[in-house]
Amino acid sequence: MAVEGDATPASSGPGLVAMLVAMVVLTLVAAGGGFGVAWLVNAKINAAKQAVANDANAAKPPEAKFIVKELPTILTKLSGSQAPWLRLNLSIVVAKGTPELDRFAETIAQDVLAFVSNLPVDQVTGPTNFDILRADLQEILRIRSKGAAHELFIRGMLME
């Protein structure tokens, strides 16, 4: 007499083995493809680095013709009663190789100090007056430098 619950389990057989083999083969193909793509990308990166290195050696940047020289800080009291103190931080652009650059910068700073100490407060405040002050300082620089200096920058201006 046969009992209904004694059925033998179905064997996994060649189906499971075939699936495992297929997964291993696909994994190897994917890994090989990944290594192949990485090799190609690395070759392109190395070629680009080599091209950049060749360009860097071939075209060096030109040497600067001008330098920026910072002037000593100018601290003075403006003219008039109850006048505030004025602090100016200036820089000038001069041709490279200008002789006695430090002495030249001191001379410009002294001229600016003499000019600014005679200004009343109302000639320094406001955007229009600031532009006029900058133009006046440019004129002082142009006259004093006789063409050696090209530009004057007001890096900071503080009234106390």
pLDDT digits (tens, 9 = 90+) for 17-61: 889 999 999 999 999 999 999 998 888 898 888 888 777 666 676
Averaged pLDDT of the chain: 86
Question: Could you count the other beta carbons within 10 Å of the beta carbon of residue 100?
Answer: 9
Please give the structure tokens belonging to residue 16.
Answer: 């499971």
Identify the DSSP state of 88. E
Please give the structure tokens belonging to residue 27.
Answer: 């994994």
Tens digit of pLDDT for each residue in 80-129?
Answer: 888 899 999 999 999 888 888 889 899 999 999 999 999 998 888 888 99
**Over residues 64-86, mean pLDDT:** 89
CA–CA gap between residue 102 and residue 91 (Å, rounded): 12
pTM above 0.75, yes or no: no
CA–CA gap between residue 105 and residue 118 (Å, rounded): 20
User: What is the pLDDT, as a whole number, of residue 65?
Assistant: 86
Residues 6+ apart with CB under 8 A from 149: 92, 93, 94, 104, 108, 141, 142
pLDDT over 60 (residue 72) = yes
Do the Cβ atoms of 116 and 78 come closer than 8 Å?
Answer: yes
